[in-house]
Amino acid sequence: MYSLNALDTAEVVALLQRALTTPVRGLGDLKLSADVELLQEIAEASSGDARAALNTLELAAQLTTGNSDLGVQKSTKDSTINRQAVSDALQRKILLYDKSGEEHYNLISALHKSVRSSDPDAALYWLARMMKAGEDRMYLARRLVRMAIEDIGLADPHAVEQAMACMQTVHFLGIPEGDQALAQLALYLALASKSDAGYQALNLANSVIESTAAAPVPLHLRNAPTRLMKEMGYAKGYKHAHKEVDGVTDMDCMPKALAGTVFYKPSDRGFEKRLQERLEWIKQRRSQIEFERYEE
């Protein structure tokens, strides 16, 4: 296995100079020249990708010679590639990016981890890199929605609302107006309180389901639309929370085999801290109800 690394600027410039002077396989037959500074500009814009740099040089050469293959309608006998030709060829900065390759996943990973690490500047940089390279905006919106759920969760319930609103905005406005919505969402998510408690809770629940037998639904949680079901004990002992004091019952809704199992453990960050307090109050209230029933 070979690991391919990006070339440095000097190496790319050397390749460009060789391409200018090599006949047949290069541009040598055109007798063109270019200042080293311009070649360095092309090299830097290529981000170490020799193929991208050579493509830019070839386009600049075609612009200089008036080649009509690319629809250029000017004619010139100038043998020097000038700054305007290079600027036109670049059009925009060429970024190291391949939507189907490793760098695609490296960049989205960098964006995700920057958001998770509450670094808004880094999040904005990686997002801008991907947008500048032509990434599908709806793909970016979907990934940001996932971050809102996976890394922020109930620490800031508004994060998902913001993410879904951003997705609709991007779909409605398109490029480039929708890009600002993506940037705004990335900043919001990076600055939001973080918690993966909900994400971990689902993983734990899935793990328990996969490692234990499928427990039957307790009879008191089943509906009893027929007399036979009622005679079998369906719905017997069910307590309607809305009819209880404080809307809380001491009824156990877990299968007996999993009684007392805890999946969700809220963090002490953001809104989830209030949920933690609410959960603790519910536990205390249930204990109080059990004690009062025992006293009776």
Q: What is the pLDDT of residue 113?
A: 96
Nearest residue to 254 (alpha-carbon basis) of 294, 295, 286? 286
Q: Give me the CATH code for the 9-90 domain, please.
A: 1.10.8
Q: Where in the chain is the domain with CATH 1.10.8?
A: 9-90
pLDDT, tens digit (0-9, with 9 covering 90-100), for 286-295: 888 877 777 6
Q: Where in the chain is the domain with CATH 1.20.272.10?
A: 102-191
Task: Report residue 165 as tokens.
Answer: 């609103």
Percent over 70 (pLDDT), the chain: 91
Distances, alpha carbon 87 to alpha carbons 63, 84, 94, 172, in Å:
11, 5, 12, 32
CB-side neighbour CA atoms (13 Å) of 15? 20
Second-level CATH architecture of 102-191: Up-down Bundle (1.20)
pLDDT, tens digit (0-9, with 9 covering 90-100), for 201-254: 999 999 999 998 888 999 998 999 999 999 899 999 899 999 888 888 888 889
Residue 169 near residue 179, CB atoms below 8 Å: no
